[in-house]
């Protein structure tokens, strides 16, 4: 399946078109968890479990999203997921991931755009996340959305051991 990438100047995300199929960003529900786990397992050495997602979705301060590829009729498939926890007005972003075959076409950008817009509407004024120091696609994505590196946690990650960059976006601009 091909996804055509279109560049859009002055925009932090790029729209994605996939033939007759469409990608929709919406809130994650319990019914999504099974497919979200596939995205997790394909993306992280230490993926979250179904229990962790179930518990997280019950938290009033947790807001999780999926990218859903909708096709003809009833076909639909979760191809990406991300989430934020509202810690007293600061948004802690977790689990930004896209299925490998759908990466590089702006799917994560679209998810982050929705997450940040809706989080600002909910009153979050700053956002933070941790990323592996060698994760260049993720770092490029976050910089595009105005995140800057403010700290390093040495050897924070396991499998393999790697430093974590602590990134923040403190301005409330979209």
Ligand X SMILES: CC(C)(COP(=O)(O)OP(=O)(O)OC[C@H]1O[C@@H](n2cnc3c(N)ncnc32)[C@H](O)[C@@H]1OP(=O)(O)O)[C@@H](O)C(=O)NCCC(=O)NCCS
Q: Which spans of this chain sit near ligand X (rule: CB under 6 A)?
A: 43, 96-98, 103-109, 129, 131, 135-138, 140-141, 144
Residue 130 known to be catalytic: yes
CB 137, min distance to ligand X, A: 3
Q: Which is nearer to ligand X, 14 or 118 (CB)?
A: 14
CB 73, min distance to ligand X, A: 25
Q: Which is nearer to ligand X, 57 or 138 (CB)?
A: 138
Q: Is the distance from CB of 99 to CB of 38 less than 8 angstroms?
A: yes
**What gap in Å lies between CA 16 and CA 118, rounded to an integer?**
20
What's the token pair of residue 86? Answer: 């509202």
Of 64, 65, 68, 142, which residue is the catalytic one?
A: 142
Of 38, 90, 130, 162, which residue is the catalytic one?
A: 130
CB 64, min distance to ligand X, A: 14
Residue 157 known to be catalytic: no
**DSSP calls for the chain:** ---EE---TT-SS--EEBTTBEEEEEE--GGGHHHHHHHHHHH-SSPPPHHHHHHHHH-TTEEEEEEEEE-STT-EEEEEEEEEEEETTEEEEEEEEE-GGGTTSSHHHHHHHHHHHHHHHTT--EEEEEEETT-HHHHHHHHHTT-EEEEEEEEEETTTTEEEEEEEE-S---
Q: Which is nearer to ligand X, 33 or 128 (CB)?
A: 128
Q: Which is nearer to ligand X, 58 or 77 (CB)?
A: 77
CB 172, min distance to ligand X, A: 22
Q: How many whole angstroms from its chain centre is CA 101?
A: 16
Q: Which active-site residues does the annotation give?
A: 130, 142
């Amino acid at each position: 399946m091909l996804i055509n990438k279109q560049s859009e100047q002055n925009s932090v995300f790029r729209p994605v078109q996939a033939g007759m199929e469409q990608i929709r960003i919406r809130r994650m529900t319990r019914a999504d968890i099974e497919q979200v786990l596939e995205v997790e397992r394909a993306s992280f050495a230490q993926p979250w479990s179904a229990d962790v997602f179930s518990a997280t979705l019950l938290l009033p301060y947790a807001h999780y999203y999926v990218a859903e590829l909708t096709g003809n009729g009833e076909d639909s498939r979760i191809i990406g997921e991300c989430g934020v926890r509202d810690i007293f007005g600061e948004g802690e972003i977790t689990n930004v991931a896209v299925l490998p075959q759908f990466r590089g076409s702006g799917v994560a950008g679209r998810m982050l755009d929705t997450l940040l817009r809706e989080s600002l509407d909910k009153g979050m004024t700053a956002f933070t996340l941790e990323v592996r120091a060698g994760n260049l696609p993720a770092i490029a994505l976050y910089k595009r959305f105005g995140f800057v590196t403010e700290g390093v946690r040495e050897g924070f990650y396991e499998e393999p051991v790697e430093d974590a960059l602590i990134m923040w976006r403190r301005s409330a601009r979209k």
